[in-house]
C-alpha cells in the first residue's frame, strides 16, 4: 500500500540546463503522468528554480549545494521529509551518493538509477570510484541502461545481476525538434559546408580531435566552417587550439544553446567526436532533425545503432585522422541541404519511451 494517494516520485539531477542527462530528467518531469504519479524534481546543485518552466503538478526542490557530494545532508533531509515511494537518479556521481545514503531512507523507498555513459571507458576514473560502482550499483532496485552494450558491461565488469538491469531508450521530443528545425534566427552566410557539434566542452567529447580533423578538411574545402555549441572546462584550451591552427574565423563557440535544433536548418552535417559516450542526446536530436551524421565509434551501443544506416558515417577508429577521412567522404557524397529519415530514432519518441519508463516504475513499485 502506498503512503500517498498517488505514488510519490522524486527525480534527482544536479541541475537543469546541462547535458543529455539533465534533458532526459526534464523530459521525464514534463511527460510522466501527473494523474498517475505525484511528481517532484530535486536539483542538488541548483539554488534558483524561478526560471524553470515545468507543467503544473511538478514540484521543484532546489537544494543549492556547491557540489553533489556536499549536498548529502540536505538531500537526505529532503528525502526523509518527502518520503517518496520511488527515487530516480539520473547521473553517475549522483547515483553513487543516492546509493550511499539509501540505508537512511524511509523504509520501502525504491531506488532506480540511470547510467548515462560507459564506466569502463572513462579514462582516468579512480580505482576507488570503480570499486564504489561495484559495491553500490547492485543495491539499486533497477539500473537503467541506454544500450545492450552498456548493460553487458555493467553485468560483466561490475557484477550487476541481469535482472536488475533495464534497457530503456532516451526520450526525445522528436515532433518538437522537427517543428523547430525551420526556425533559424542566425542564418549562416558563406558557401560552406557548415559543420555542427554539440556537447559539454570536456575531454571525453573529443573536440580537440574535431579541430584537428577540421583543419585537414579545410585544406580540401577552404570555405568550410564549424560551430561547437556547449560550455565546459576545456573552452579556453579549445579556443587556444583554434588560434594556433589559424581557424578563429572559421570556428564559432556560441556557448550553451538551450535548443540546438535552432541550428539544424543551417548545418550541412552533425559531428560526434567523442572519445567515449553512452548514447548522447545531442546525436539523437540531430537524427530527429534529419541531419547527416559523422561519428567516431565512441561505444559499442553507438556503433550498433549507426552501423549500415543511410546518412550516417562511422569512422574506423577514435582518432583525428579517421574522423577527417569520414568527414571528407560524407561531404563528397552529400548533396546541398540533404536530409535523412533516420528510422532508428522512432523508438526514442516520447510516446514510446515514456510508457517504457512508466512500466519500469510501476514494476519497481510493486
Residues 347-361 have pLDDT tens digits of: 999 999 999 999 999
Under the banding of pLDDT at 50, 70 and 90, the label for residue 35 is very high
Is 48 part of a structural domain of the chain? yes
C-alpha distance from residue 68 to each of 91, 120, 122, 230, 362 (Å): 10, 22, 19, 21, 28
**Structural domain of residue 328, as residue ranges?**
175-347
Is 323 part of a structural domain of the chain? yes
Q: Is 189 in the same domain as 147? A: no
CATH at residue 357:
3.40.50.2000
Q: Is 161 in the same domain as 190? A: no
Per-residue confidence (pLDDT) for residue 184, from 0 to 100: 56
Q: Is 124 in the same domain as 234? A: no
Q: What percent of the chain has pLDDT over 90?
A: 70
C-alpha distance from residue 247 to each of 191, 219, 224, 257, 290 (Å): 17, 12, 10, 22, 28
Is 110 part of a structural domain of the chain? yes
Under the banding of pLDDT at 50, 70 and 90, the label for residue 245 is very high
- Across 177-199, average pLDDT: 80
Based on the number of CB atoms within 10 Å of its own CB, is 336 exposed (0-12), middle (13-18) or buried (19 or more)? exposed
Under the banding of pLDDT at 50, 70 and 90, the label for residue 69 is confident
Based on the number of CB atoms within 10 Å of its own CB, is 346 exposed (0-12), middle (13-18) or buried (19 or more)? middle
Q: Over the stretch 288-320, which tens digit does the pLDDT of each residue have?
A: 999 999 999 998 889 999 999 999 999 999 999
Is 299 part of a structural domain of the chain? yes
Q: Is 46 in the same domain as 186? A: no
| Euclidean distance between CA atoms 226 and 267, whole angstroms | 9
Q: Over the stretch 257-286, which tens digit does the pLDDT of each residue have?
A: 888 999 999 999 999 999 988 888 999 999
Q: What percent of the chain has pLDDT over 70?
A: 94
Q: Is 341 in the same domain as 353? A: no
Per-residue confidence (pLDDT) for residue 122, from 0 to 100: 55
Q: Is 195 in the same domain as 331? A: yes
Q: Is 162 in the same domain as 234? A: no
DSSP three-state, residue 365: helix
Rounded to the nearest integer, the mean pLDDT of the chain is: 91
Q: Is 17 in the same domain as 118? A: yes
Q: Is 202 in the same domain as 326? A: yes
Is 2 part of a structural domain of the chain? no
Is 233 part of a structural domain of the chain? yes
Is 1 part of a structural domain of the chain? no
Phi and psi at residue 252, to the nearest 5°: -120, 135
Under the banding of pLDDT at 50, 70 and 90, the label for residue 2 is very low
Is 3 part of a structural domain of the chain? no
What is the number of domains present in the chain? Answer: 2
Residue located via cell numbers 511528481: 39
Q: Is 192 in the same domain as 139? A: no
What order do you get walking across the sheet with 225-229 strand by strand? 251-255, 225-229, 194-198, 269-272, 293-295, 312-314
Q: Is 229 in the same domain as 118? A: no
Q: Is 233 in the same domain as 138? A: no
Per-residue confidence (pLDDT) for residue 90, from 0 to 100: 85
Amino acid at each position: 500500500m502506498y503512503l500517498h494517494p498517488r505514488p510519490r516520485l522524486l527525480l534527482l539531477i544536479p541541475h537543469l540546463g546541462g547535458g543529455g542527462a539533465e534533458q532526459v530528467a526534464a523530459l521525464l518531469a514534463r511527460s510522466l503522468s501527473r494523474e498517475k504519479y505525484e511528481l517532484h524534481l530535486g536539483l542538488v546543485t541548483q539554488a534558483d528554480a524561478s526560471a524553470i518552466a515545468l507543467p503544473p503538478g511538478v514540484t521543484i526542490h532546489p537544494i543549492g549545494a556547491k557540489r553533489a557530494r556536499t549536498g548529502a545532508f540536505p538531500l537526505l533531509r529532503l528525502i526523509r521529509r518527502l518520503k517518496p515511494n520511488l527515487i530516480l537518479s539520473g547521473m553517475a556521481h549522483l547515483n553513487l551518493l543516492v546509493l550511499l545514503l539509501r540505508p537512511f531512507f524511509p523504509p520501502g523507498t525504491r531506488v532506480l538509477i540511470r547510467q548515462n555513459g560507459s564506466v569502463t571507458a572513462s579514462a582516468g576514473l579512480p580505482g576507488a570510484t570503480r570499486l564504489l560502482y561495484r559495491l553500490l550499483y547492485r543495491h539499486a532496485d533497477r539500473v537503467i541502461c541506454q544500450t545492450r552494450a552498456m548493460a553487458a558491461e555493467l553485468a560483466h565488469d561490475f557484477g550487476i545481476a541481469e535482472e536488475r538491469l533495464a534497457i530503456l531508450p532516451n526520450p526525445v521530443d522528436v515532433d518538437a525538434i522537427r517543428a523547430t528545425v525551420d526556425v533559424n534566427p542566425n542564418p549562416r552566410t558563406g558557401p560552406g559546408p557548415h559543420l555542427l557539434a554539440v556537447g559539454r566542452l570536456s575531454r571525453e567529447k573529443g573536440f580537440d580531435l574535431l579541430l584537428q580533423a577540421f583543419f585537414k578538411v579545410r585544406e580540401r574545402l577552404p570555405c568550410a566552417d564549424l560551430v561547437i555549441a556547449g560550455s565546459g572546462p576545456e573552452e579556453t584550451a579549445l579556443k587556444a587550439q583554434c588560434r594556433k591552427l589559424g581557424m578563429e574565423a572559421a570556428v564559432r563557440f556560441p556557448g550553451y544553446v538551450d535548443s540546438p535544433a535552432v541550428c539544424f536548418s543551417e548545418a550541412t552535417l552533425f559531428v560526434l567526436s567523442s572519445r567515449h559516450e553512452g548514447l548522447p542526446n545531442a546525436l539523437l536530436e540531430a537524427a530527429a532533425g534529419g541531419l547527416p551524421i559523422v561519428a567516431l565509434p565512441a561505444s559499442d551501443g553507438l556503433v550498433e545503432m549507426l552501423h549500415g544506416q543511410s546518412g550516417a558515417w562511422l569512422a574506423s577508429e577514435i582518432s583525428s585522422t579517421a574522423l577527417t577521412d569520414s568527414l571528407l567522404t560524407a561531404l563528397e557524397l552529400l548533396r546541398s541541404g540533404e536530409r535523412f529519415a533516420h528510422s532508428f530514432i522512432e523508438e526514442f519518441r516520447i510516446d514510446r519511451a515514456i510508457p517504457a519508463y512508466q512500466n519500469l516504475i510501476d514494476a519497481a513499485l510493486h
